[in-house]
Amino acid sequence: MNIGIVGLGLIGGSLGLDLRSQPNLHYVWGISRNQTTCDRAVALGAVDVASQNFASIPQIDRTDVVFICTPISAILSAITSVIPHISQTAIITDVGSVKSSISLQGQMLWSRFVGGHPMAGTAFSGIEAAERSLFQQRVCVLTPGIDRAALEMVRSIWESVGATVYESSPEAHDRAVAWISHLPVIVSAGLLLAAQREGNDEISQLAQKLASSGFRDTSRVGGGNPELGRMMAEYNQTALLDHLYSYQQTLQDLITMIEQGQWQEIQTALEVAQHLRPLYVRE
Residues 234-253 that bind a second copy (CB under 8 A): 234, 237, 240-241, 243-252
From the CB of 74, what's the least distance to a second copy, in Å?
Answer: 15
264, β-bridge pairs: none
Query: Closer CB to a second copy, residue 146 or residue 272?
Result: 272
Contact positions with a second copy (CB under 8 A) in 62-91 = none
Q: Does 129 bind a second copy (CB under 8 A)?
A: no
Q: Does 176 bind a second copy (CB under 8 A)?
A: yes
Query: Could you give the CA distance from residue 74 to residue 22 in angstroms, rounded to a whole number?
Result: 29
165, β-bridge pairs: 140
From the CB of 137, what's the least distance to a second copy, in Å?
Answer: 10
Question: Are the CB atoms for 2 and 62 separated by under 8 Å?
Answer: yes
Query: Could you give the CA distance from residue 234 to residue 223 in angstroms, rounded to a whole number?
Result: 18
From the CB of 131, what's the least distance to a second copy, in Å?
Answer: 15
Binding region for a second copy (CB under 8 A) out of 23-31, 78-86, 88-96, 226-234: 226-234
Binding region for a second copy (CB under 8 A) out of 51-59, 79-87, 99-107, 171-179: 171-179
Start-to-end C-alpha separation, the chain: 36
Q: Does 201 bind a second copy (CB under 8 A)?
A: no
Q: Which residues are CB-contacts of 30 (< 8 A; sequence separation ≥ 6)?
A: 4, 5, 6, 8, 12, 16, 38, 41, 42, 46, 47, 49, 50, 51
Question: Are the CB atoms for 13 and 46 separated by under 8 Å?
Answer: yes
Contact positions with a second copy (CB under 8 A) in 259-278 = 259, 261, 263-264, 266-274, 276-278
Cα dihedral: 151, 153, 156, 161 (round 10): -100
Q: How many residues bind a second copy (CB under 8 A)?
A: 96
Contact pattern for a second copy over residues 99 through 128, marking x by CB under 8 A: --------------------x-x-------
